[in-house]
Amino acid sequence: MTTFQSRRMLLTTRPVWTLKQSDFTVDKQPVPSPRDRQVVVKVLWLAFDPAMRGWMNDGPSYAPPVALGDVMRGHGVGEVVDSAADDFPVGTLVHGNFGWQDHLLCDTADGVVGALEHVHGNKGALPVARKVPEGLPPTAILGVLGTTGLTAYFGMLELGRPRPGDVVVVSGAAGATGTVAGQLARLAGATTVGIAGGAAKGAWLTDTAKFDAVIDYKSEDVSARIAELAPNGVNVFYDNVAGRILESAIHNIALRGRVVLCGGISSGYSDEATAYGPTNLSTITVRSASMHGFIVTDFLDRFDEAAERLATWVRRGDVVWADDVQQGSVEDAVETLNRLFDGKNFGKQLLQIAEPSTS
Ligand code: NAP
């Protein structure tokens, strides 16, 4: 055993509705010593995605549910604090499916993106630590260069396929995925409209992320505003929200418009019974439009290509992003995840649980 102890958040109850601290048990375990290219990682930042709430439910999904008694799954960045791998010396910054715990033993692997173990779990094996790309803030791999950026890349460019002159509307636009999706549409030559809650998020979208227009769904009539901003219809609607916002976008969809179903945070993540379905699906038919759902892992074999293009845009400043970094300990993970459902986050939701020892 190393001298390291791990505080771990174990899922011990299937949550009902809003996630609660009492759905978890916190324990403390010694961390085994590394051998055969293993490392001990001290976790620095944990990343949060609304889908994580769904992984706690015991139902059919694209990823297996987190088993009761297991450490909650999730992507993180950490620092190697003990090493039996020459190319991962102490101090190396790494990322992987570290889960909601503050120290852990990992295998190591080359390559940047990996196979997204933080979505599907490690299937009984140890989590794998991969090096964080250099030259950008280490948290970029948790957002714009990680699952978030890849989701926006494939959802927008492969399924939305924006063309110059198109009007592209993005819901959840000030969130991590929406911010990137809208900017990729702008780079493709489209006019971009973001839907987000509140004036501060709207101002950031137009001033910093260079969206052409925003709609505040909390204070404006979404359908009427879309009609005003897209009088010839919406060519691409990239949806992170579902429910009534999706219904408004369908109402305004252009002939042969494309609706990309990325997520539906307004309905159904905690309980299917709360889901509100659009009542106007026949509009898709009469406008010869299409709706396409997807999961980012559908494009697993193209992750390297996408990560490289995203990194180029990010380094040039063509794509900007925001990290919302809460400070705390691993026990604050529950409250941090709930921020996404309350719309409290501004960009990629992260929780910093330790300081890096190197700058
Ligand atoms: P995020 O957008 O950074 O955070 C969630 C945002 O959703 C909040 O900031 C909030 O913004 C908005 N929201 C919450 N409740 C809402 C409601 N009732 N009505 C309207 N908006 C609401 O989260 P993210 O990680 O980037 O994920 C965005 C979406 O992409 C999620 O649906 C997620 O599940 C999905 N996703 C899909 C894939 C895939 O493979 N298909 C992969 C990753 C993520 P406001 O303040 O504007 O309300």
DSSP for 16-47 reads -SS--GGGEEEEEEEPPPP-TT-EEEEEEEEE
- Kindly state if the Cβ of 262 falls inside 6 Å of ligand 1: yes
Specify the pLDDT at position 89: 97
H-helix or E-strand spanning residue 152: helix 147-152
Distance from residue 152's CA to the centre of ligand 1 (Å): 12
Specify the pLDDT at position 174: 97
- Kindly state if the Cβ of 246 falls inside 6 Å of ligand 1: no
* Predicted model pTM: 0.94
- Kindly state if the Cβ of 345 falls inside 6 Å of ligand 1: yes
Ligand 1, closest atom to CA 264?
Answer: 32
- Kindly state if the Cβ of 240 falls inside 6 Å of ligand 1: yes
Phi-psi region of 17 (alpha: psi -120 to 50; beta: other; left: phi over 0): left
* β-strand pairing of 39-47 with 348-352: antiparallel
Q: Which of 202, 198, 163 is nearest to 179 (CA)?
A: 202
- Kindly state if the Cβ of 19 falls inside 6 Å of ligand 1: no
Ligand 1, closest atom to CA 349?
Answer: 3
- Kindly state if the Cβ of 242 falls inside 6 Å of ligand 1: no
Decide: 214 and 195 in contact? Cβ < 8 Å: yes
Give the amino acid at 348: K
Q: Whose C-alpha lies nearest to ligand 1, atom 36?
A: 263
- Kindly state if the Cβ of 151 falls inside 6 Å of ligand 1: yes
Ligand 1, closest atom to CA 198?
Answer: 46
Specify the pLDDT at position 283: 98
Ligand 1, closest atom to CA 293?
Answer: 41
Ligand 1, closest atom to CA 345?
Answer: 9
CA–CA distance, 153 with 149 (Å, rounded to integer)? 6
**pLDDT tens, per residue, the chain with 359 residues:** 668 999 999 999 999 888 999 999 999 999 999 999 999 999 999 999 999 999 999 887 888 899 999 999 999 999 999 999 999 999 999 999 999 999 999 999 987 665 567 677 767 789 999 999 888 899 999 999 999 999 999 999 999 999 999 999 999 999 999 999 999 999 999 999 999 999 999 999 999 999 999 999 999 999 999 999 999 999 999 999 999 999 999 999 999 999 999 999 987 666 555 678 899 999 999 999 999 999 999 998 999 899 999 999 999 999 999 999 999 999 999 999 999 999 999 999 999 999 999 65
Specify the pLDDT at position 226: 98
H-helix or E-strand spanning residue 200: helix 199-207
Could you tell which of 276, 340, 341, 345 is best to mutate to test the pocket of ligand 1, judged by most ligand atoms within 8 Å of the CB? Answer: 340
Specify the pLDDT at position 1: 65
- Kindly state if the Cβ of 49 falls inside 6 Å of ligand 1: yes
